Amino acid sequence: MEKVITRRDFMRGSTYAVLGMAIGFPLKQTKKSRIVLIRHPDALDENTRFNENVIQQMLDEAVMALFDQESPVKTFQKLFKPDDIVGIKSNVWAYLPTPPELERAIERRLTDAGVKKENISIDDHNVRRNPIFKKSTALVNVRPLRTHYLAGMSGCMKNYVTFAQNIPDYHPNNCSDLALLFRLPMVKGKTRLNILCALTPQFHGRGPHHFNRRYVWNYKGIIVGTDPVAVDSVALQIIKAKRVEQLGKSREMPGNPRYIEIADVKHGLGTSDMNKIDLIKLGWKEKILI
């Protein structure tokens, strides 16, 4: 049995060190992962309809800030070549899918950058059979932010679970080894952008479907980065803060989202330590929670 992490380790704030020791890796200092959190008060209208123009603007500003560029199209041109075959891995969960407005914003910039429309596909459950995904040279990872009964949180890392041949293989120990999804042949080395839609995130779940609209709020944000672990780490801070605000300190953690820290310390996929994340906050700051 690997070193067991107990509640007491969390109370001591020593989980990062315990995990590192458990796996036998020294804790290393790595370059900071840059993540952009952008929010806009008009991303949704008064009826919670998505404003596509504002969402496009948010995506553009986020990628420019992420890569220190002055044009969204040039930024996409640096990330994608005209001959790239691009799978946009989205999420179709009925209760909280990726907004089509955000999917279109990504697709629009890909075509602006020169990628042929016929070489772009947006998919979720069918990615393993989708011909574009099967021959893809690049991926964009986009999904909404929500809590998840088993993993604690569904962020960018969890979004790749439909690439798995057998999804339950990734469920043991609260989905602790989701990072392994990024080593699958269809995925490995292809992800150019991770975009976590926090326009209407869900901070708590109820019932068999783990959904209740009471726990969805209009945060009006998007989190963008190249490091999926860092994207999920930032998102977890927001979810935790919202849970403290709405449910109280004792219910701060959404289940047991240990996969994030394990992705960092055990699998080396990215950065989970907030001290090693360069978080750039753009736009609307009201009730930002982080």
Which residues contact another protein (rule: CB under 8 A)?
1-2, 4-8, 10-12, 93, 95, 148-151, 154, 167-168, 171, 173-174, 176, 206-214, 250, 253, 255-256, 258
Q: At which residue do the structure tokens 């986020």 appear?
A: 62
Q: Give me the least distance between CB of 206 and another protein, in Å please.
A: 6
In whole angstroms, give the CA distance from residue 26 to residue 180.
Answer: 20
Check if the beta carbon of residue 34 is closer than 8 Å to that of residue 270.
no
Closer of 93 and 284 to another protein (Cβ): 93
C-alpha distances (whole Å) from 181 to each of 88, 99, 131, 188 are 16, 24, 19, 8
Nearer to another protein, 7 or 117 (CB): 7
**Which of 40, 204 has the CB closer to another protein?**
204
Minimum distance from residue 37 beta carbon to another protein (Å): 25
Indicate the residue among 71 and 126 with the shorter CB distance to another protein: 126
In a 10 Å sphere around its CB, with 0-12 CB exposed, 13-18 middle and 19+ buried, how is residue 284 labelled?
Answer: middle
Closest CB 223 distance from another protein, rounded Å: 20
* Shortest distance in whole angstroms from residue 3 CB to another protein: 9
- Do the beta carbons of residue 229 and residue 179 sit within 8 Å? yes
Task: Please say whether the beta carbons of 23 and 2 come within 8 A.
Answer: yes
d(CA 34, CA 121): 27
Q: For residues 9 and 52, which CB has a smaller minimum distance to another protein in the complex?
A: 9
Report in angstroms how near the CB of residue 94 gets to another protein at its nearest.
Answer: 8
